[in-house]
């Protein structure tokens, strides 16, 4: 693989609270490669959004980056994002690394026209040619299947939810960033609107070549868009692998649990099950493997020894003492899938 565009190592983020320190992100290490789409999946409260906010340093005041490094590589130069000055940070955000926020309803300023938001953004990053900005924005609106003339001169309330989400995506890539972070880009959208957003994202990614970090609790979205998947649990990355490896040969029981909990339009529903129990308290974490109280494979060792995050298979990392078992548990599914694909001739 090429050199990464972003290298995150041992990133740990804590929130100060009255009851103690909330360890929202713990020792997360991963590389993001040019042009790839890395999906970050996990339950609510697993640290997905905190991680994303940390990468653009938009964390709330109560949060501290206690450890780690975020290296941004571009044009042969490497920059430590954690050491950027306020001025450098303003250029890095949006210019190099853009973030598209979760709620399209709240992310746009209701009293500004879309045109003002476009112009303000470009001007803040040193572009002075108003006509050029307008033309570029309209091209992007066209690319996300919006009517450029109408949308450019609209206020946010004049647009539907799906249109607003696409405006946000177009705004996100306005300055040709190397990295685009999407936080749940299709949650709260209807099925057909969601499909449009997915297709638009695929097209933009392929034509502009940016890397995408894609946060979602929806495995179907990850299956559709991702090249690699990172599973997070209790603030830790517990598995990282290609989309096919993750879905067909998971090496962490939590990933397996998520896969088994996702209802589908194919197959029989008997195979579905929930993960028992609930996520741990992030102030007082369990000993050993953080997943052991909910894990079907847990033994004595899991409650005492925290398994390291290791590469067990080629390009496939996970933190589990019994990493071989989830993959075996997926054998029946792989066979069922093969039959299904053969019969339906998809």
Partner 1 sequence: MTVPLMELQSVNRIFKGRNSTVQVLFDVSMQVAPRETLCIVGESGCGKTTTGKILAGLSKPSSGKVLFDGKDVSGFSGASYADFRRAVQIIHQDPYASLNPVHTVYRTLSFPLLRHGLVKNQMEARARVLELLTLVDLTPAADLIDKFPHQLSGGQRQRVSIARALTVNPKVIIADEAVSMVDVSIRISLLNTLTELQKRLGLTFIFITHDLAVARYFAWEGRIAVMYLGRVIEEGPAKLITDAPQHPYTQALVSALPEPDPEITRRKPRVQLRSEDIPSLTRLPSGCPFHPRCPIYVPGVCEHERPELAATQVGTLAACHVTAQTSHHAEAIAARGASVAT
Of 16-55, binders to partner 1 (CB under 8 A) are: 43-44
By CB under 8 A, tell whether 337 contacts partner 1. yes
Stretch that binds partner 1, among 70-78, 150-158, 175-183, 212-220 (CB under 8 A): 212-220
**Helix, strand, coil share of the chain (percent; to 5):** 40, 25, 35
Q: Strand pairing of 97-100 and 316-318?
A: unpaired
Of 132-151, binders to partner 1 (CB under 8 A) are: 145
By CB under 8 A, tell whether 247 contacts partner 1. yes
**123 or 334: whose CB is closer to partner 1?**
334
Instruction: Give the count of alpha carbons within 13 A of 274, CB side only.
Output: 5
**138 or 294: whose CB is closer to partner 1?**
294
* Contact indicator for 99, 58 with CB cutoff of 8 Å: yes
By CB under 8 A, tell whether 327 contacts partner 1. no
Instruction: Give the count of alpha carbons within 13 A of 165, CB side only.
Output: 23
Stretch that binds partner 1, among 9-17, 22-30, 67-75, 333-341 (CB under 8 A): 333-341
By CB under 8 A, tell whether 283 contacts partner 1. no
- CB atoms under 10 Å from CB of 179, counted, come to 21
Nearest-approach distance from CB 103 to partner 1, in angstroms: 15
Q: Strand pairing of 37-41 and 211-216?
A: parallel
Nearest-approach distance from CB 110 to partner 1, in angstroms: 20
By CB under 8 A, tell whether 82 contacts partner 1. no
**133 or 222: whose CB is closer to partner 1?**
222
Task: Give phi and psi for 17, each to the nearest 5.
Answer: -140, 165
Nearest-approach distance from CB 70 to partner 1, in angstroms: 28
By CB under 8 A, tell whether 258 contacts partner 1. yes
- CA distances to 1, 58, 73, 124, 142 from 61, in Å: 37, 9, 27, 24, 38
**DSSP character string of 87-138:** HHHHHIIIIIEEEE-S-HHHHS-TTS-HHHHHHHHHHHTT---HHHHHHHHH
Nearest-approach distance from CB 342 to partner 1, in angstroms: 12
Among 175, 219, 289, 298, binds partner 1 (CB under 8 A): 219
Among 1, 86, 111, 192, binds partner 1 (CB under 8 A): 192
Stretch that binds partner 1, among 16-24, 49-57, 262-270, 284-292 (CB under 8 A): 262-270
CA distance 271 to 105: 37
By CB under 8 A, tell whether 313 contacts partner 1. no
Stretch that binds partner 1, among 14-22, 28-36, 111-119, 184-192 (CB under 8 A): 184-192
What tokens appear for 223 in the block?
Answer: 């299956």
For residue 103, count CB atoms less than 10 angstroms from its CB and return exposed for 0-12, middle for 13-18, buried for 19 or more: middle
Residues in touch with partner 1 (CB under 8 A): 43-44, 145, 160, 162, 190-196, 198, 217-221, 223-224, 243-244, 247, 257-259, 261-266, 269, 272-276, 278, 337, 340-341, 346
């Amino acid at each position: 693989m090429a050199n990464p565009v972003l290298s995150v190592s041992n990133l740990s983020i804590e929130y100060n609270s009255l009851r103690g320190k909330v360890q929202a992100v713990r020792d997360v290490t991963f590389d993001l490669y040019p042009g790839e789409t890395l999906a970050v999946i996990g339950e609510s409260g697993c640290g997905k959004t905190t991680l994303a906010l940390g990468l653009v340093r938009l964390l709330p005041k109560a949060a501290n980056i206690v450890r780690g490094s975020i290296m941004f590589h571009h044009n042969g130069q490497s920059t430590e994002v954690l050491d950027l000055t306020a001025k450098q940070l303003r250029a890095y955000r949006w210019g190099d690394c853009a973030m598209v926020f979760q709620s399209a309803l709240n992310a746009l300023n209701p009293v500004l026209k879309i045109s003002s938001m476009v112009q303000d953004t470009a001007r803040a990053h040193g572009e002075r040619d108003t006509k050029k900005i307008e033309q570029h924005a309209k091209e992007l609106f066209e690319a996300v299947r919006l009517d450029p003339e109408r949308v450019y001169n609209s206020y946010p309330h004049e647009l539907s939810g799906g249109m607003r989400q696409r405006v946000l995506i177009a705004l996100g890539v306005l300055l040709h960033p190397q990295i685009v972070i999407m936080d749940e880009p299709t949650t709260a959208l209807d099925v057909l609107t969601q499909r449009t957003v997915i297709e638009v994202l695929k097209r933009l990614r392929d034509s502009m070549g940016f890397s995408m970090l894609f946060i979602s609790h929806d495995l179907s979205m990850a299956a559709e868009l991702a090249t690699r998947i990172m599973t997070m649990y209790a603030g830790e990355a517990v598995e990282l692998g290609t989309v096919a490896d993750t879905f067909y040969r998971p090496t962490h029981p939590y990933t397996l649990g998520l896969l088994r909990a996702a209802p589908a339009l194919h197959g029989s529903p008997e195979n579905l099950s929930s993960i028992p129990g609930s996520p741990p308290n992030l102030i007082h974490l369990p000993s050993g493997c953080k997943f052991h109280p909910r894990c079907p494979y847990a033994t004595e060792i899991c409650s005492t020894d925290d398994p390291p995050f290791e590469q067990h298979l080629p390009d496939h990392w996970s933190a589990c003492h019994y990493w071989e078992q989830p993959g075996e548990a997926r054998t029946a599914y792989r066979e069922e899938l093969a039959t299904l694909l053969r019969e339906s001739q998809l």
